[in-house]
């Protein structure tokens, strides 16, 4: 599609019905590389370009929160050379995007087991989180060494300690209290979850938060995913009727 087609999709969007929070399981980098007889790392490199395009587009159309699943707690099982390459790409991405994040008023936030990441990744993340702390145009949440079950376990531990200390009454624990003890405590639940590469699974992403999230799975592999497809998915989302267990209109 050319840019005029893309801007027509753009203007088709109902600004009043924009998802406040879009979450993405960026999957299919390895298969993209394999199809081309490349090393998997080439797929991850190409995937970073898609990240840039989707971050830009989200900011452009006015999404408040974009959460990208970049590395799961289970991804630590991958070969060391692949993990090292992913971490190196992440540092490179953070360094190269710093200026654009400031120019475009984007705040960076990391969720997950941050202390498990290599020191240089942690340092780069800290730097850019401090730098972009006051930005209010959009929040980009990077899920790194993130797992929904880990997050739930750490929430239970934190609440249990508060119950033990008498700060919380066990009988008065509510869904709101649970949400406040997750790493997404200041982030609204996702309205839309997109997964690329066709797998019909959640892979341990935002388990609590997606209770009423609209799900869209596309067969497109992440490195082939485009701005146009992203915009057309948001259009599809805007046509869905969200009932939240009620009877609708």
Residues marked active site are found at: 27, 75
Judged by beta carbon, residue 86 or residue 111, the one nearer Mg ion is 86
Report the Cα 166 to chain-centroid distance in Å. Answer: 35
- The window from 23-31, 111-119, 135-143, 213-221 that contacts Mg ion (CB under 5 A) reads 23-31
The residue within the footprint of Mg ion, chosen from 21, 25, 27, 59 (CB under 5 A), is: 27
Q: Are 137 and 106 in contact (CB under 8 A)?
A: yes
User: Does 201 participate in binding ligand IPE (rule CB under 6 A)?
Assistant: yes
Size of the site for Mg ion (CB under 5 A): 1
User: Does 151 participate in binding ligand IPE (rule CB under 6 A)?
Assistant: no
Q: Are 74 and 63 in contact (CB under 8 A)?
A: no
Interactions with ligand IPE, residue window 82-101 (CB under 6 A): 86
Beta-carbon contacts of 216 under 8 Å, excluding residues fewer than 6 positions away, are 192, 193, 194, 195, 233, 236, 237
User: Does 75 participate in binding ligand IPE (rule CB under 6 A)?
Assistant: yes
Judged by beta carbon, residue 22 or residue 159, the one nearer ligand IPE is 22
Taking CB under 6 A as the rule, which mask of x and - marks residues 99-138 in contact with ligand IPE?
----------------------------------------
- The rounded distance, in Å, linking the Cα atoms of 225 and 218 is 9
User: Does 30 participate in binding ligand IPE (rule CB under 6 A)?
Assistant: yes
Largest Cα–Cα separation, the chain: 61
- The window from 24-32, 114-122, 129-137, 186-194 that contacts Mg ion (CB under 5 A) reads 24-32
CA torsion angle 185 187 190 191 (round to 10): 130
Judged by beta carbon, residue 25 or residue 54, the one nearer ligand IPE is 25
User: Does 203 participate in binding ligand IPE (rule CB under 6 A)?
Assistant: yes
- The rounded distance, in Å, linking the Cα atoms of 240 and 233 is 11
Distances (CA, A) of 236 to 41, 43, 47, 98: 32, 28, 24, 32
Report the Cα 29 to chain-centroid distance in Å. Answer: 16
Beta carbon of residue 219, minimum distance to ligand IPE (angstroms, whole number):
12
> Which residues contact Mg ion by CB under 5 A?
27
Q: Which residues bind ligand IPE (CB under 6 A)?
A: 25-31, 69-72, 74-75, 86, 197, 199, 201, 203
């Amino acid at each position: 599609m050319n840019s005029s087609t893309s801007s027509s999709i753009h203007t088709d969007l109902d600004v009043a019905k924009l998802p406040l929070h879009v979450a993405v399981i960026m999957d299919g980098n390895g298969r993209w590389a394999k199809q081309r007889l490349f090393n998997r790392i080439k797929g991850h490199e190409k995937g970073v370009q898609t990240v840039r395009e989707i971050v830009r587009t989200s900011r452009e159309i006015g999404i408040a929160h974009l959460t990208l699943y970049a590395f799961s707690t289970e991804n630590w099982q991958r070969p060391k050379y692949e993990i090292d390459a992913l971490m190196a790409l992440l540092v490179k991405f953070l360094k190269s995007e710093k200026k654009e994040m400031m120019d475009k008023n984007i705040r960076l936030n990391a969720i997950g087991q941050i202390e498990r990441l290599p020191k240089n990744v942690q340092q780069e993340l800290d730097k850019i989180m401090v730098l972009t702390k006051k930005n209010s145009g959009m929040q980009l949440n990077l899920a790194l060494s993130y797992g929904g079950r880990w997050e739930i376990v750490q929430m239970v531990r934190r609440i249990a300690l508060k119950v033990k200390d008498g700060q919380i009454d066990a009988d008065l624990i509510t869904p709101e209290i649970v949400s406040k003890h997750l790493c997404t405590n200041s982030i609204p639940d996702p309205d839309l979850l997109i997964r690329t590469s066709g797998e019909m699974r959640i892979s341990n992403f935002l388990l609590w938060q997606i209770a009423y999230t609209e799900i869209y799975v596309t067969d497109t592999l992440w490195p082939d995913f485009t701005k146009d497809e992203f915009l057309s998915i948001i259009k599809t989302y805007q046509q869905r009727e969200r009932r939240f267990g009620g009877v609708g209109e």
